[in-house]
Amino acid sequence: GRHAQCKLHNAPTGRWPLKPTTYMKQLLVNLESNCESNHLDVDNCVITHVVCQRAVQGRRRTYRAHGRITPYLSSNCHVEFFATEKTPDVKRGAEEKKGVRLTKKQAAR
């Protein structure tokens, strides 16, 4: 239907994907509990990798008029999250000046 929020994107109507967002929220809760079970500090964990890949379609059949049967497929996917614990920044050590590098031929002269 018509929503005021859609005016921001120059669209007359808009929709919100409730089902996929609830599944993603469940996956994020699962990721958080996995971090806790792996003894990671949940407050310092950062999601470093997210990928969504196609999976095998679920095959069912729907019955049509005049005795016909057509496939009724569901498009499934695999969602993958990686979370790593953020470490505090390490200061860089003092750099030593390095001399000119020589190749083996130059060193042999």
**pLDDT by residue (tens digit) across 33-42?**
999 999 999 9
| Predicted local confidence at residue 66, as pLDDT | 97
Matching residue, tokens 């469940």: 26
| Predicted local confidence at residue 87, as pLDDT | 87
| Predicted local confidence at residue 89, as pLDDT | 86
Question: What is the mean pLDDT of the segment spanning 62-80?
Answer: 96
Contact (Cβ atoms closer than 8 angstroms) between residue 77 and residue 53:
yes
For residue 60, give the H/E element and its range.
Answer: strand 58-63
Residue 97 has pLDDT above 80, yes or no: no
pTM score, two decimals?
A: 0.66
| Whole-number Å distance between alpha carbons of 98 and 35 | 43
| Predicted local confidence at residue 30, as pLDDT | 96
* Phi, psi of 2, rounded to the nearest 5 degrees: -85, 135
- 96 — pLDDT class (breaks 50, 70, 90): confident
